[in-house]
Amino acid sequence: MSQIKGIEKLFHPVSLKNVIIPNRIAMAPMTRAFSPNGIPNDEVAAYYRRRAENGVGLLITEGTAIPHPSAVSHQDIPRFYGEDALAGWRKVVEEVHEAGGMIIPQIWHVGGARKKGDLPNEEALPVSPSGLDLEGNEVTDPLTEDEIQDLVGAYAQAAANAKAVGFDGIEIHGAHGYLIDQFLWEKTNKRTDRYGGDLRGRTAFAKEVVEACREAVGPEFLIVFRFSQWKLGDYDAKLAHSSGELKQILEPLSEAGVDVFHASTRRFWEAEFNDESDSLNLAAWTKKLTGKPTITVGSLGLDHAFRDEQGTSHETSVRENIEKLVEKIADDEFDLVAVGRALLADPDWAKKLKDDDLEQAVPYTRESVHKLY
């Protein structure tokens, strides 16, 4: 099999602010709940190191709990606070840097996606902008403005912890129907104060989180913001129905201090606004609108992509995916690509791609992920 034309572009270094990433391949954040009692151990450090030493330029950790009692919903999701957990993260950073990679933590609060009674804090109630879950059902009282400020401060503390531990930046999780996204989405944000209303109003919480994180880490520390249109259980959801609406969301975040946007999509090759462009995906539109570097993601390493809601198969080979990706990077549509499930299944995936040896890659299946670490 011939080498993919232009594949070398994926393995050129790229600068994100003052951080030089060895290549354009990132590991997407993927929740695994493998940190006992929220503390990343030596096995977690080895997990990230293996991906770094096998050619992943930027590792984005699984979602980590900010210092708030209802941040996550499993006792083994890693914490990003407390001396024990931060000592574990320090070891992770050391291992990845020694292997030649760069690493940022994804800081996270699940908001109304949490169920009452979930661990690690059974007594902590879920929180969300209007007290609603992702289906729009009333679960708790809406957040007060004081409670919102406490949450903003928790994100800022997590950001400060990342800098103190030695990470190369942070990623703020603002996607997939979790807390920040619940503020952005009109289905879960019914507020009538300054945190609700129109698109600009619904962006206020995310903007304050970014501003607080920027203040906590200073002007030079890298801040990535992950966002999506789709939500857990609702793949048709839209924050923005046009590039103009998307600009209303992204512009305040860019001005607040976001350096890089990570645009989460299910299939990276799909155009986001078909009536405006038949080629630009969400990451490409984001770069065009903000001028900031972007990360794209979505089924790059899979031979069997998602079926859509009508049951239509989107069968595509990994080789075809990579050929499309290389063309789009050559056209400067986005800057990095995040790879998720392929790297879960095979820590050597990036090296095998570079060596034109993907035929030997371990394919992703639910079973392969449980067997490999």
Q: Give the residue numbers marked as catalytic.
A: 178
DSSP 8-state symbol, 28:
P
Q: Are 162 and 64 in contact (CB under 8 A)?
A: no
Question: Cβ atoms within 10 A of the Cβ of 121, count?
Answer: 17
Q: Are 296 and 26 in contact (CB under 8 A)?
A: no
DSSP 8-state symbol, 110:
-
Please give the full DSSP string across 331-363, using - where no structure is assigned.
TTS-SEEEE-HHHHH-TTHHHHHHTT-GGGSPP
User: Measured at the alpha carbon of residue 180, what is the angle toward residues 177 and 181, in degrees to the nearest 5?
Assistant: 35
Of residues 225, 370, 340, the one with CA closest to residue 290: 225
Structure tokens given for 53: 């030493």
Structure tokens given for 279: 């080629």
Of residues 82, 97, 99, 77, the one with CA closest to residue 166: 97
Q: Strand 19-21 vs strand 14-16: parallel, antiparallel, or unpaired? A: antiparallel
How far apart, in whole angstroms, are the C-alpha atoms of residue 211 and residue 207?
6
Buried b (16+ CB within 10 A) or exposed e, 358-370: beebbebeeeeee
H helices of the chain, in order, are: 42-53, 83-98, 145-165, 179-184, 199-202, 204-217, 243-256, 282-290, 318-330, 341-345, 349-354, 366-371
Q: Strand 25-27 vs strand 14-16: parallel, antiparallel, or unpaired? A: unpaired
**At which residue do the structure tokens 């009538």 appear?**
192
Q: Strand 260-264 vs strand 294-297: parallel, antiparallel, or unpaired? A: parallel
**At which residue do the structure tokens 């002007």 appear?**
219
